[in-house]
């Protein structure tokens, strides 16, 4: 009986040892460890959205991105996007944060990336869009009371310039072309702007390539290997 217990303990110890070796071997994957971040629904700003709304909270995302940047075990980040846009200030803050990361980043638009979602989509090192996904570029809109003076229009122009400059700096499309797409009157029935579906976003130079999850992961792996 004692001998059987000893054998069992040794067998269990060997199994644990083998399991540990397997974990270390799988840990080779850790050298290419990937972090997946979703940007979905509406980009929530300084005001809380209703509890029934799907939202990406930027005050949660910013420290998460900082944590990822400091984590030596994470080698690359995949951003999966399906957003209708939202708060301009919060969206640009997230986009600037992503763009400033040294770790390889790839974005994948799987549904929509509208409005302030456009700077978010182009903020990564490389970007993908599935064939049926859409991007909408339109002028800045604001809720609440507006004062009809020149300063208000100047303020809107400065906000718009921040967005178009960022998009142009992180994609292959020119700032002038982005501004043209913003004020197109032929595509949206109740607004100005341009709708780009799948390959159209690539042809305009906003997104790098049409592809899905396997393409995005393969590209991220290659960026990690290059780094």
The set of catalytic residues is 115, 138
Q: Do residues 117 and 91 make contact, with C-beta atoms less than 8 angstroms apart?
A: yes
Cα separation, 177 vs 187, whole angstroms: 16
Burial label for 50, CB within 10 Å (0-12, 13-18, 19+), is exposed
Give the 3-state DSSP-derived string for 135-156, with helices as H, strands as E and coil as C.
EEECCCCCCCCCCCCHHHHHHH
Tokens of 154: 């100047």
Instruction: Give me the long-range contacts of 39-42 (CB less than 8 A, separation at least 24).
Output: 39/79, 39/80, 39/81, 39/82, 39/83, 39/94, 39/117, 39/120, 40/81, 40/82, 40/83, 41/82, 41/83, 41/84, 42/83, 42/84, 42/85, 42/86
Calculate the alpha carbon distances from 224 to 27, 34, 164 in Å.
15, 10, 29
Angle between helices 88-99 and 150-169 in degrees, nearest 10 = 30
Q: Extract the tokens encoding 155.
A: 């303020």
């Amino acid at each position: 009986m004692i001998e059987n217990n000893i054998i069992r303990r040794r067998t269990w110890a060997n199994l644990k040892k083998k399991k540990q070796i397997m974990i270390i071997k799988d840990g080779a994957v850790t050298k290419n460890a990937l972090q997946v971040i979703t940007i979905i629904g509406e980009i929530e700003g300084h005001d809380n959205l209703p509890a029934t709304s799907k939202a990406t909270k930027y005050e949660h995302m910013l420290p998460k991105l900082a944590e990822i940047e400091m984590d030596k075990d994470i080698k690359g980040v995949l951003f999966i996007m399906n957003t209708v846009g939202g708060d301009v200030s919060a969206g640009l803050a997230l986009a600037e944060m992503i763009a400033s990361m040294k770790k390889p980043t790839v974005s994948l638009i799987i549904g929509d990336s509208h409005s302030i979602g456009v700077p978010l989509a182009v903020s990564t090192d490389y970007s993908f869009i599935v064939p049926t996904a859409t991007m909408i570029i339109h002028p800045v809109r604001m809720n609440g009371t507006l004062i009809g003076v020149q300063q208000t229009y100047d303020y809107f122009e400065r906000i718009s310039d921040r967005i178009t400059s960022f998009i142009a700096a992180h994609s292959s499309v020119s700032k002038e072309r982005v501004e043209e797409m913003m004020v197109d009157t032929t595509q949206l029935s109740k607004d100005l702007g341009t709708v780009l579906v799948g390959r159209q976003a690539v042809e305009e130079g906003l997104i790098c390539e049409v592809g899905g999850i396997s393409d995005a992961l393969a590209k991220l792996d290659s960026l990690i290997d290059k780094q």
